[in-house]
Amino acid sequence: MEQLAPSPPAGGEARPHLVAGRPSRQDRHRALRLRGDRVETVVRVYEAPATGRRLHLVATMHLGEPAYYEALSGLLADLAAGGAAVHYERIRRADDTDVTPEERARLEEVESSGYPAGLDAFVAVLGLELQGERLALPAGARNVDASDVELLRGLGGEEYRRLVARPEVAFDERAAPLARPLFRFLLRHGAALDRFRALSARHRRVQRFMIGHRNRLALAEALAALGAGDVALVWGSAHLPGMGRQLERAGYRLRAEQWLTVCTL
């Protein structure tokens, strides 16, 4: 997205501020943080420069405590009740009219499972739940993500298979006690691991699509919807720093933020 256009004028009706915390300077370009033994994700509220309408960027983690998803679900329900459109992340199935027979054959070659075998044992040991099973989206929420065929076209057949297919290595349930130290290690050192992976040209190309392209799709839909009212974008925490930078460059003002506890390590 090269340029973000301001929204049409908004109505003058007052709306409640559901997220009213003061933005943190230290964590301004993070959406996931560790504070002591707590893992937290952020909700940020940006204000459109011409209209004052609000765009809520709601970061999520795909694993979390039940209370985390209850808090997220309640916030989204309240935003929707106040008139905000809720848009969410999830790679979707393409309409058959957009797919060639060759592409359909490639898509059907890959059996998508979503999670590797045995992951439920690790999740149970951690005392966590999966976002896809626990987060409740309000009625009328829209999937504004890329489609599977866009993923295939953007990355090529082999990268599509590597990202989507069920992993061949299953988790051994006997190793479940290692889940907590492994999870703690990944959270504490994830940024360093990402910098190491970024040395690979292949990884950078995948990230340009999986993060950059999908961010542009989400923001284009959100800014169009701001013409009718406030919007909440519910996306994984890795997406929010880039989205926030694009909004700030376009003159959107960060007005408030709230950090939610995902889990305790």
| pTM of the entire predicted model | 0.85
Between CA 237 and CA 230 the distance in angstroms is: 21
Mean confidence (pLDDT) of the chain: 85
What pLDDT shows up at residue 117? 61
pLDDT in tens, 202-228: 888 888 889 999 999 999 999 999 999
First to last CA, the chain: 38
Would you say residue 93 has pLDDT above 90? no
> Do 245 and 6 touch, CB atoms closer than 8 A?
no
Q: What is the pLDDT of residues 17-64, one digit of tens each?
A: 889 888 988 888 889 998 888 999 999 999 999 899 999 999 999 889
- Report the distance separating Cα 151 and Cα 59, nearest Å: 22
Question: Are 237 and 61 spatial neighbours (Cβ–Cβ below 8 Å)?
Answer: yes
pLDDT in tens, 115-164: 666 667 777 777 888 898 899 999 999 999 999 899 899 988 888 888 88
